[in-house]
Amino acid sequence: MLWRRIGRYRVKMITELSHDDFQALAALEARALSGVSAALLGEALSGDAACVVGYWHDEQLTGYALLARLPFDAELQAMGVLPEHRGQGVGDRVLKAVLAVAARWQSERVLLEVRESNAAAIRLYKGAGFQQDGYRRDYYPAVHGAAGRESALLMSRSV
């Protein structure tokens, strides 16, 4: 395991993940259900076009976020915390680490899309300074096989 300090947040608790962490990351996403495929996670771990930040608790990966590098901005493409570790500030710490990565990349903004029913994520993002700047009607398939579609909020934050 390569321990790496990101910004000034929880040294030895938050790391940038590498390809060696793929199994732990795929297992986490399978329970956190952020909605990205294992293939996309594997790709993100392999190249320079993205960074995956992980939160470790007693050597267990309990939270992560995937940040993709765009020409001027960065995009938060996925984020998830194990259900039993939610509501304890893990998401908030991971998000702050993501913002530190975006600052290192000299990104102008961090962009994201979120389902409008995802109150936990929206509250987390707003608390971290993200503002809604767009709306995509019927953007996502409905969750859990329900009929219909769901709209997305587009949010961003200056770095």
Ligand X SMILES: CC(C)(COP(=O)(O)OP(=O)(O)OC[C@H]1O[C@@H](n2cnc3c(N)ncnc32)[C@H](O)[C@@H]1OP(=O)(O)O)[C@@H](O)C(=O)NCCC(=O)NCCS
Binding site for ligand X (CB under 6 A): 32-34, 79-81, 86-92, 114, 118-121, 123-124, 127
Cβ nearer to ligand X, comparing 87 with 141 = 87
3-state secondary structure of 3: coil
Structure tokens, 74: 């960065």
Report d(CA 8, CA 138) in Å as an integer: 39
Residue 123 CB, nearest approach to ligand X (Å): 4
Helix axis angle, 38-46 to 22-32, nearest 10°: 140
Cβ nearer to ligand X, comparing 45 with 111 = 111
36: phi then psi, degrees, rounded to nearest 5: -105, 155
Cβ nearer to ligand X, comparing 32 with 101 = 32
Residue 44 CB, nearest approach to ligand X (Å): 15
Residue 95 CB, nearest approach to ligand X (Å): 8
The number of CA neighbours under 13 Å toward the Cβ of 73 is 11
Cβ nearer to ligand X, comparing 47 with 83 = 83
Residue 119 CB, nearest approach to ligand X (Å): 5
Would you tell me how many other CB atoms lie within 10 Å of the CB of residue 148? 7
Cβ nearer to ligand X, comparing 108 with 116 = 116
Alpha-helical regions (H) of 11-52: 22-32, 38-46
Residue 148 CB, nearest approach to ligand X (Å): 19
